[in-house]
């Protein structure tokens, strides 16, 4: 690992994004807009007194799911371009270490994800009075971990796509099952046993669990930290797998 090369990579990836105003706008604004849609979706629900709004549950989970989906897509396309344009091969003839490249990417997109989730969380909190007991700072933290997970999976999946068209097709394979099984639509304990078991090993499940802890407790709980730690472990594991797909030599 070389700090200078990692930072150079982060600066370069952010520089590429900076020229692309439309993508930056989409990354920053779309989650907040969708959150607004979710809010109005449940606007007319009738609540028994003392019952939490559905928005407080679904809106909160959306805050963690957006950065995951967006960063997965952005990363897998960017990395695929890097592979097909020859810049990756060229980079790997230089002294850069694979870890510098991967962490450079992860850092750049984490910064974007942090900005994205700050916007979305601020809107949820101040415009729509999102009602959670814990600190919104922890919500942003979980959102950023989710974004890094999206980055890691995007880096890995780009190795299995030859074209951008194929890369986009990985979204239904990698992202949608996690959203279906994470506990957003059906509580995990109410699921079919097989699905529940599968959901128990999918990374997004841990972030939804962590968010429930944040929503229900004023202070950070051990379970939340444990969930965050497991997510971190999965991220490192996926990044290691992704680094195996970066080869200095090809046949």
Partner 1 sequence: MTPLPAAIEATGLYVARSRSKILNGLDFAVDAGRITGLLGPSGSGKTTLMRAIVGVQRITRGNVTVLGHPAGSAPLRHDVGYVTQGASVYGDLSVQANVRYFGAMHGATAADTAEAIAAVGLGSFARHKAADLSGGQFSRVSLACALVAHPRLLVLDEPTVGLDPVLRAELWERFAAMAAAGTTLLVSSHVMEEASHCSSLLLLREGLLLAQLTPGELAERGRSDDLERAFLAIIKAADRGQEERQVTS
Of 48-56, 80-88, 128-136, 213-221, which segment contacts partner 1 by CB under 8 A?
Answer: 80-88
The reply to whether 216 sits near partner 1 by the rule CB under 8 A is: no
Is there binding between residue 89 and partner 1 (CB under 8 A)?
yes
Give yes or no for residue 22 binding partner 1 (CB under 8 A): no
In this structure, are residues 210 and 227 in contact, taking their beta carbons and an 8 Å threshold? yes
Best CA proximity match to 75, nearest among 16, 5, 139, 138: 16
Residue 109's Cα: distance from chain center in Å? Answer: 10
- Within 10 A of 183 (CB to CB), how many other CB atoms are there? 22
Out of 85, 135, 163, 169, the residue judged to bind partner 1 by CB under 8 A = 85
- Binding residue for partner 1 (CB under 8 A) from 33, 47, 90, 133? 90
The residue among 155 and 175 lying less far from partner 1, judged by its C-beta, is 155
Given the complex with partner 1, which of 192 and 249 has the nearer CB atom?
A: 249
The DSSP secondary structure of 183-212, one letter per residue, reads TSSS-GGGS-HHHHHHHTT-HHHHHHHHHH
Apex 25 CA angle, 21 and 29, nearest 5: 175
Q: Is residue 15 close enough to count as binding partner 1 by CB under 8 A?
A: yes
**Binds partner 1 (CB under 8 A): choice among 93, 189, 192, 193:** 93
Find out whether 235 and 145 touch, Cβ atoms under 8 Å.
Answer: yes
Report residue 232 as tokens.
């971190």
With respect to partner 1, which residue has the nearer C-beta, 90 or 133? 90
Q: By CB under 8 A, tell whether 86 contacts partner 1.
A: yes
Is residue 243 near partner 1 by the rule CB under 8 A? no
CB atoms within 10 A of CB 124: 27
- CA nearest 102: which of 161, 154, 163? 154
| Contact yes or no for 142/161 (Cβ under 8 A) | no
Single residue of 8, 171, 180, 186 touching partner 1 by CB under 8 A = 8
Of 92 and 114, nearer to partner 1 (C-beta) is 92
96 binds partner 1 (CB under 8 A): yes
Residues that bind partner 1 (CB under 8 A): 4-5, 8-9, 11-12, 15-16, 19-20, 85-87, 89-96, 248-251
């Amino acid at each position: 690992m070389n700090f200078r090369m990692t930072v150079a990579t982060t600066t370069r990836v952010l520089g590429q994004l900076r020229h692309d105003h439309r993508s930056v706008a989409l990354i920053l604004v779309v989650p907040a807009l969708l959150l607004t849609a979710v809010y109005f979706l449940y606007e007319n629900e009738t609540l028994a007194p003392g019952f939490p709004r559905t928005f407080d549950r679904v809106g909160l989970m959306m805050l963690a799911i957006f950065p995951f989906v967006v960063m997965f897509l952005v990363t897998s396309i960017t990395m695929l371009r890097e592979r097909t344009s020859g810049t990756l091969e060229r980079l790997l003839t230089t002294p850069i270490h694979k870890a510098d490249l991967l962490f450079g990417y992860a850092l750049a997109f984490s910064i974007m994800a942090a900005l994205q989730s700050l916007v979305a969380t601020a809107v949820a909190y101040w415009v729509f009075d999102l009602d959670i007991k814990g600190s919104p700072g922890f919500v942003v933290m979980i959102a950023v971990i989710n974004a890094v997970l999206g980055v890691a999976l995007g880096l890995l999946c780009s190795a299995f796509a030859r074209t951008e068209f194929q890369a986009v097709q990985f979204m239904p394979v990698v992202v949608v099952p996690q959203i279906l099984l994470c506990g957003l639509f059906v509580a995990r304990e109410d699921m079919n046993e097989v699905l529940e078991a599968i959901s128990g090993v999918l990374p997004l499940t841990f972030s939804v669990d962590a968010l429930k802890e944040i929503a229900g407790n004023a202070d950070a709980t051990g379970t939340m930290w444990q969930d965050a730690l497991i997510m971190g472990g999965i991220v490192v594991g996926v990044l290691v797998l992704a680094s195996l797909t970066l080869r200095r030599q090809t046949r």
